[in-house]
Amino acid sequence: MILDTSFIIDVMNSDEAALDTVDEIEAAGVIQHIPAMTLQELYIGVGMSEMPAAERQQIERIVDARPIVPTTEEIARHAGRIDGELRAAGRPIDVGDATIGATALVNAEPVITGSPDHFERISGIEVVTY
């Protein structure tokens, strides 16, 4: 399972539906992967935070228990194609979402998100929400 930034933020904010979903995923033994782009987006929040040390600790508690998926050359190529195709169709996508979506496609895993509209327009991706 590929974890989108919105999902991790919801977990950090103790969103009941997100926490229930974590419990379900863990009970099913599903490995939760964090794309490098998700990590980058989370740290953008640290940089903007009035309490960066506390936010960083909260992020690291979640991140340290899960494997990070690096943005490989293959993922970058897929993300660029996704971004370009959606722009050409008049439906631009955030580069972070294109990269997280490409991570899900390349690794043949669903992406879990609190913002399904960010990913549903990416062809071939399975989007899980809560």
- DSSP state at residue 114: S
User: Which domains does the chain show, CATH number per domain?
Assistant: 2-128 (3.40.50.1010)
pTM of the model: 0.93
Confidence label for 51 from pLDDT (cuts 50, 70 and 90): confident
pLDDT over 90 at 108, yes or no: yes
